[in-house]
Amino acid sequence: MPKYLVRLFVFTLLLVAVPVASTGTISYFIAKQDIEKKVNEGNGQILLQNKMRIEQIFKNVEMGAVQYISSPLVASLYDRALTAGHFQNITALSKGLYNLHSIAGVADTYLINLEHGWMISELGFTRADEFADRDRLGEYAQQAKKLFWLTAVANQGDQAAEEGKAEPYKIRLVVKLPMVASSSQPKAVLLVDLAYGELQYDLRQNAEWRNIYVLNREREPFLSSPGSPKIDEAVLSKLKANPDLDSAYFEEQGLAVNALSSDHHNWTYVSIVSIQEITKESRKIAFVTVNACLIIFSVIAVFAYFGSRRMYEPIRRMFAIMQQFGGESGDASKKDEFAYIEDRLHTLFSSRSQLQQQLQGQRSQIKEFFLHKLFMGQVTESEFVYKSGVYGFADNSASLSVLVIQIDTLQDTRYTAKDKELLLFAIHNIVGELIPPDNLIGSLLLDQSQVSLIAIDADSPAELKALCHQLAGQIQGKVRELLQLKVSVGISRVFHRYAGAMNAYSEALEALKRRISLGYHVIVSYDDIETAAATSIQPDASWSYLENSLIQALQAGDEAAALEHFDGYVESIMGQNVQFNDFQILMLELITRIYRLVQQQGGALDNLLGTSAAVQQFLKLSTAADIVFWFKTKLFPPTLAFLKEQIDSQYMSIARQMVQMIHEAYDQDITLEACSEQLKFHPVYLSRVFKKEIGVTFSEYLTEYRINMAKLWLKDSSLKISEIAERLNYTNATGFIRTFRKMTGMTPGQYREEHSKSS
């Protein structure tokens, strides 16, 4: 169907469709808002009922707890030093705790004496240190209030409470005894834990498609109706943003939220329901409206179709004529008739300029590609002369030279390694602006360098050399001014044939390598370094010492010592005035030793660095400072972390084996030398490892373990002291008694007598 006919047909439909759809939409939204208002009022009433029901449970628990601790029995016994022999008193206190369980919602109760260390719970009379949350007792004692509630943030969807599984408390009442004393340090505490599942059941009523939450004073949910999902973070943030909230209603993230604050402990009750569920009934109105609109659309569509065809007939005849003259009927199916006619006219006038622009863009790319092949030695002299005119190169000149520009370093600048490509591109643009077109045959970015081929129409090499130095100085100054960056420039020898560009490029790079002795921000010509006498590496005796010390520091996981020895190693090498290639080779040998060290420990250097091309990355570094920086930031940190982890793992394994040997042979003549023979390590090394991992010496741990075994036998057996000393491998009872008194402050006989009385 023709596109313009479709548009004409659609426009006719819209004249009727818009008023009908607008009327139906307005009616739907009015009905929807009325339904939302009624449902939200009902939600508020249900939330108020749940609030009153839950608060009544908390008040009943508080009242029961206060009545219990106010009873004469509890008042007279809570601060006494009760033992298992006080059967009647314990039974009376337990009965009172049992009565608290009859209050709705109570799950567990604990009466804990902090002064004498006893506890009464559903497990009976036990020691206070057997309480699961004993670490919190000190926190309870520091609270200013005598009676307060603790709430733990509930895990939404938690099924443990519903299935009856044991779990940590979520809601707990804490009462400090005595309640009327002015001292903040209590003698005992009464803890009442509420059953999370029963409280959830109280929130279950009238919660078919709404979720109810109870938030503490910090606006964190600690109780929710069964099956409630995690409360939406946007809703929670809005509640926290209003700490003085009394009652409120708002909508957030497609949810209708009713919030009601409670004066009782400043808790907040929240009801959340999906607006989509609220407006479920209003969808019937939408269904009726849509059907009515469809019927009207169907009737109008019939009349609009036939009327549009009659109006379109003149346009159809005009379009057919343009197709005959255009000769591209395939394009007509993608556009409407008027757009097709406009496009045909525009194409006739713009095709020539478009072809010229495309050719110009491709010409620039081909020129850079051809120049790249020239520097790589892939273009012959005759081929370059033949194509130089085609690609826009200058005419052949008598003298040529290559300039190579490299960034010295990015350290102490505002740039990072990620900016290097962009900086080189900026330098490339600066070079293109500073070098006159008559002297610049071509330039490109090649392997972290900016390379330019310079020409001068003169036979004198001195003139070209002077021009290159002048241009290099201008480039350095402009880069320093615009980018606040230091660059160095390498200049090749003068050559006269384009085929010599590859050698000239290598010469300029070789000249730049002299920065290792000349420093940064320099202009170096290959003619200047060629006349310098070649120097050979004279190995220094300190090199091997520093290198071995560095490897030992890495092997020991000592980062500070490793960096210190590395700095000394580099300084010693640089003091010999070595060439960059020699320095690179020495550093590569050091990488090889580190690789072997890591491999001996079961690792792989490539895995530690996170790349399989670590050596390739190293070889791309063009300055000594970059190499040192690479060692300190890329190579050493992961290597030290790996080796330190291996050392810690070995220490832990050795210490664990030695402890096991003590536990198994404490009654024998066990020594460090015996452990050394079995573990195949030197006794001094074993002593240091044991002290580091366990915290005490080998002999101290052995003595302490033997004394602990003696304590057990003194309490639970009738063995004589001399028999115990013999079992513990003491040569005589006197030595055993002296050691026991030193460790415990009493003789074995006194220890047995004291513990027999307590039993």
> Hey, where are the domains in the chain?
60-194, 363-530
Provide the pLDDT for residue 281.
63
Nearest to 729 by CA among 657, 671, 650: 671
In the predicted model, is pLDDT for residue 538 greater than 60?
no
- Residue 127, pLDDT above cutoff 80: yes
Q: What single letter denotes the amino acid at residue 93?
A: L
Closest CA to 198 of 47, 60, 46, 69: 60
In 3D space, the residue among 312, 233, 293 whose CA is nearest the CA of residue 23 turns out to be 293
**Up-side HSE of residue 458: CA atoms within 13 Å toward CB?**
14
Encoding tokens for residue 273? 């329901």
Task: Give Rg (Cα) of the chain.
Answer: 45
CA distance 112 to 120: 7
Comparing 707 with 313, which gets the higher pLDDT? 707
pLDDT value at position 158?
A: 47
CATH topology match: 60-194 vs 363-530: no
d(CA 137, CA 174): 10
Is the model more confident about 611 or about 633? 633
Q: Please tell me the predicted confidence (pLDDT) of residue 206.
A: 54
CB atoms near residue 579 (< 10 Å): 18
Higher per-residue pLDDT: 362 or 11:
11
Task: State the pLDDT at residue 167.
Answer: 47
Average pLDDT over residues 378-398: 68
Q: Are 231 and 221 in contact (CB under 8 A)?
A: yes
Q: What is the pTM of this model?
A: 0.38
Task: Identify the weakest region by mean pLDDT among 20-34, 188-202, 210-224.
Answer: 20-34
| Residue whose tokens read 């070789």 | 510
- Cβ neighbours of 297 (radius 10 Å): 15
Which of the residue ranges 69-83, 110-124, 300-314 would you say has the lowest mean pLDDT?
300-314
Rounded to an integer, the average pLDDT of 479-504 is 86
Contacts of 745 by beta carbon, 8 Å cutoff, 6+ apart: none
Percent of the chain at pLDDT > 90 equals 2
Q: What per-residue confidence (pLDDT) applies to 498?
A: 81
- Mean pLDDT for 620-629 is 76
Residue spans of alpha helices (H) in 241-336: 275-278, 283-326, 329-332
582 Cβ contact list (under 8 Å, min separation 6)? 537
Pairing label, strands 124-127, 147-151: unpaired
Residue indicated by tokens 């739907």: 28
| In CATH, 60-194 is 3.40.50.11390 | no
Mode of pairing for the β-strands spanning 440-445 and 399-407: unpaired
Return the DSSP state at 414: S
* Listed residue (657, 665, 661) closest to 728, CA to CA: 665
Contact 728, 709 (CB under 8 A): yes
Concatenate the DSSP letters of all residues of 489-555 into one string.
EEE---BSSGGGHHHHHHHHHHHHTTHHHH-SS-EEEHHHHHSSPP------HHHHHHHHHHHHHHH
Give the other-Cβ count within 10 Å of 438's Cβ: 12
Residue 44: per-residue pLDDT: 77
Mean pLDDT of the chain: 78
Cβ–Cβ < 8 Å for 688, 654: no
pLDDT of residue 166: 42
pLDDT at 356 over 70: no
- Segment 646-650 mean pLDDT: 67
The separation between CA 77 and the C-alpha centre of its own chain, rounded to angstroms, equals 55
- Give the per-residue pLDDT at 119: 92
Whether 641 shows a pLDDT value over 50: the answer reads yes
User: Looking at 79-83, 331-335, 434-438, 480-484, which range is the least confident one?
Assistant: 331-335
Angle at 25 between CA 23 and CA 28, to 5 degrees: 110
Bridge partners, residue 110, by sequence: 191
Mean pLDDT over 419-432 rounds to 88
pLDDT beyond 50 at 421: yes
- Helix, strand, coil abundance in the chain, percent, nearest 5: 60, 15, 25
Confidence band, pLDDT 50/70/90 cuts, at residue 165: very low
- From residue 59, alpha-carbon distances to 53, 56, 101, 107, 466 in Å are 10, 5, 15, 16, 98
Higher local confidence (pLDDT), 626 or 472: 472
User: pLDDT tens for residues 686-719?
Assistant: 888 788 778 888 888 888 888 888 888 888 888 8
Q: Are the beta carbons of 490 and 511 closer than 8 angstroms?
A: yes
At position 438, the amino acid (one-letter code) is D
Q: What is the mean pLDDT of residues 116-124?
A: 88
Structure confidence at residue 352 (pLDDT): 60
The residue that leads in pLDDT, 131 or 158, is 131
| Distance of alpha carbon 221 from alpha carbon 211, whole angstroms | 12
pLDDT at 302: 79
Structure tokens at 466: 């002077």
Per-residue pLDDT of 719-759, as tens digits, reads 888 888 888 888 888 888 888 888 888 888 888 888 876 65
pLDDT of residue 533: 43
Q: Is the pLDDT of residue 139 over 80?
A: yes
Greatest mean pLDDT among 143-147, 291-295, 402-406 lies in: 402-406
What six digits make up the tokens of 339? 């757009």
- Decide: 300 and 13 in contact? Cβ < 8 Å: yes
Exposed / middle / buried, residue 546 (Cβ in 10 Å: 0-12, 13-18, 19+): buried
Which of 149-163, 228-242, 278-292 shows the lowest mean pLDDT across its residues?
A: 149-163
CATH superfamily of 363-530: Reverse transcriptase/Diguanylate cyclase domain (3.30.70.270)
